[in-house]
């Protein structure tokens, strides 16, 4: 269940479900998802489901990760990307395959520590992780080609949109009663919003948790 053949089957399902960017598909095929979850759940690592990773958090389903990355890349080269919500580190590892520089922040200290070890073991040397949240203090990262938020927001995080380069994209699960994967494109002093499929994420919270 953790073989390369199993991973290829996951990629085939992603392709069948509309992921067409071969760069994204290759990244998903390269990164071993089973290394980012508990050994007891390894048999489900390549199913299209979210799985618990502790501290009330989950690893997103492969289709959601692939879709978020595909929207962020938009079939262009990515120099600098920010991920908010490192979690177990899986999406950051996928992003390491498609961007030159990846910055990932996580508010829960225990999750960040484990993710840092996994990313180091996989030699994802272009990923930098930090114990923080997404509420402020990120101005030094401007300009960003893309931002992916792995948590559900009720309102658009305008302070993050300001960090985007022209035509940069913010990918965020947005909504109050229902969440929809939303693509925000920065255009001059304005923005364009494109709503995609319904998703389900833990809420976007401020503040940090030490353990």
**Catalytic positions, written as ranges:** 60
Q: d(Cα 199, Cα 35) in Å, to the nearest integer?
A: 24
Alpha-carbon distances, residue 20 vs 136, 183, 195 (angstroms): 34, 17, 19
Neighbouring-strand partners of residue 41: none
* Helices 4-16 and 22-30, axial angle in degrees (round to 10): 150
Q: Is 91 exposed, middle or buried (0-12, 13-18, 19+ CB in 10 A)?
A: buried
Secondary structure of the chain: what % helix, strand, coil (to 5)?
35, 30, 35
Alpha-carbon distances, residue 106 vs 38, 114, 149, 200 (angstroms): 19, 11, 11, 19
Length of the chain: 211
Neighbouring-strand partners of residue 148: 83, 171
Q: d(Cα 203, Cα 141) in Å, to the nearest integer?
A: 24
């Amino acid at each position: 269940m953790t073989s390369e053949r199993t991973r290829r089957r996951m990629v085939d399902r992603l392709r069948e479900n509309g992921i067409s960017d071969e760069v994204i598909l290759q990244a998903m095929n390269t990164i071993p998802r089973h290394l980012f979850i508990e050994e007891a759940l390894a048999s489900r690592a390549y199913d299209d489901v979210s799985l618990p990773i502790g501290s009330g958090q989950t690893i997103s389903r492969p289709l959601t990760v692939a879709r978020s990355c595909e929207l962020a890349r938009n079939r262009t080269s990515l120099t600098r990307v920010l991920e908010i919500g490192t979690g177990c580190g899986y999406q950051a590892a996928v992003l390491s395959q498609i961007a030159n520089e990846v910055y990932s922040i996580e508010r829960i200290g225990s999750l960040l520590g484990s993710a840092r070890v996994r990313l180091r073991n996989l030699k994802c040397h272009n990923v930098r992780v930090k114990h923080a949240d997404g509420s402020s203090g990120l101005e030094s990262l401007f300009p960003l080609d893309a931002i992916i938020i792995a948590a559900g927001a009720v309102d658009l995080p305008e302070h993050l949109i300001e960090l985007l380069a022209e035509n940069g994209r913010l990918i965020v699960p947005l909504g109050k009663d229902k969440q929809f994967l939303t693509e925000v494109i920065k255009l001059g002093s304005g923005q364009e919003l494109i709503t995609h499929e319904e998703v389900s994420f833990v809420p976007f919270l401020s503040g940090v948790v030490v353990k």
